[in-house]
Amino acid sequence: MSSNVVVTGGAGFLGSNLCQKLLDEGSNVICIDNFYTGRESNISNLLDNDRFELINHDIRDEIELDSSLKIDEIYNLACPASPPHYQQDPVYTFETSVLGVRNVLQLARKTSAKVLHASTSEIYGDPLVHPQPESYWGNVNPMGIRSCYDEGKRAAETMIFDYSQQYGVAAKLVRIFNTYGPKMRSDDGRVVSNFIVQALKGEDITVYGDGKQTRSFCYVDDLIDGIISVMNAGKVATPYNLGNPNEFTMIELAEKVLQLTSSNSKLVMKPLPKDDPKQRQPAIEKIKNELSWSPKVQLEDGLRMAISYFATEIS
Ligand code: NAD
Ligand code: UDP
């Protein structure tokens, strides 16, 4: 019998890719989203599928589903993830992380479903250890413009741990590093979508700071495979880094985008946002060894696929 799977944030970038993959694998999918950053267009091709249901709901409020329905798995992805989006209403972001995960865990407790929570590399803050293994506790400013997201996600991790220890909920956790690909909004505000859209439109490429800060970019298909393998076989209340360890400076990323789009756009330097992490690279030995997952798509190939998606998106 096919499993019943809830995906919160299912109309967002990662969530809509996850819903598609779960449907392809034969699951029944209930997508819960309040369209804060998500879009109906991300899931419009799923709405006709009779194994897909959309519930417009804010996970800061209690989640009540038909009690006769057996829920097998819950993926908790609902939360704005792009800095300009999560900084727009910091209290909302913090509440979505903390109250949202509490409501998801309550649902899991009631239904005995397994849960997977989408945490983030941001819990490492501006890391003093490089690359970042799961054992690193991080370097996070608790009172700054990124704190609503970083500390919200840290508190959510604590709640995952506590519900698993105190109530026996089978709660799993992935720490996702910068991911890009189809279904991102062209106005998402994160660096890959900004650079590609700017290059395609012939606008200036906005490099923040000196552009020497680094990130490691994972293509969405790899990421979704990783999330599903942690749900299926990962240990409870144990963080797994998920990302592609190939690390680039923002200047290198901009140059790759310019080359792949054959764009004449110019790089312009803009002020570095406060508390912007200087470096980031996932250590992925743990998930490699335990679950045999590693990313397959390298940056140039992933960027090519993302460029053709954004070209259609902005046309
Ligand atoms: P996104 O903004 O595209 O998607 C988030 C989705 O959650 C949207 O559909 C939005 O409408 C929904 N949402 C927001 N608040 C909600 C609420 N209170 N109730 C119900 N729905 C709500 O972001 P994304 O990149 O798809 O990220 C998905 C998850 O993965 C987030 O939890 C994010 O923190 C995590 N993550 C993503 C990345 C990445 O690189 N994409 C990196 C680290 C962590
Ligand atoms: N960045 C940039 N130009 C942009 C958007 C972002 O140079 O138009 C930089 C940003 O300052 C950060 C890096 O790119 O150093 C990654 O930013 P993003 O918002 O994608 O993710 P995060 O900072 O959350 O890792």
* Mean pLDDT on 73-97: 98
Is 231 inside a domain boundary? yes
pLDDT at 29: 98
What's the confidence (pLDDT) of residue 109?
97
CATH number of the CATH domain containing 272 = 3.90.25.10
| Share of residues in the chain with pLDDT > 70 (%) | 100
The stretch 233-245 carries a mean pLDDT of 98
* The pTM of the whole model exceeds 0.95: yes
Residue 32's domain comprises: 4-180+218-244+284-291
Q: Domain tally for the chain?
A: 2
Q: Is residue 230 included in any domain, yes or no? A: yes
149 as an active site residue: the answer is yes
Q: Which of 290, 303, 296 is nearest to 225 (CA)?
A: 296
Within this chain, do residues 123 and 150 fall inside the same structural domain, yes or no? yes
Nearest CA to ligand 2 atom 11: 208
Domain of 34: which CATH number?
3.40.50.720
Which residues lie across from 249 on neighbouring strands? 214
Q: What is the pLDDT of residues 15-43, one digit of tens each?
A: 999 999 999 999 999 999 999 999 999 99
In the structure, which protein residues have their CB atom closer than 6 angstroms to any atom of ligand 2?
83, 178, 190-191, 194, 206-208, 213, 215, 250, 272-273, 276
Give yes or no: residues 25 and 161 share one domain. Answer: yes
pLDDT (mean) for 5-12: 98
Same domain, 73 and 86: yes
* ipTM summary value: 0.99
Mean pLDDT of 139-158: 98
Among 149, 163, 180, 219, the active-site one is: 149
Is position 138 within any domain?
yes
- Is 185 inside any structural domain? no
Mutate to test the pocket of ligand 2, among 88, 121, 147, 190 (most ligand atoms within 8 A of CB): 190
Identify the band that residue 1 occupies on the pLDDT scale cut at 50, 70 and 90: confident
Q: Is the pLDDT of residue 145 over 90?
A: yes
**CA-wise closest residue to 206 among 262, 261, 260, 271:** 271
In a domain, 186, yes or no: no
Same domain flag for 176 and 210 = no
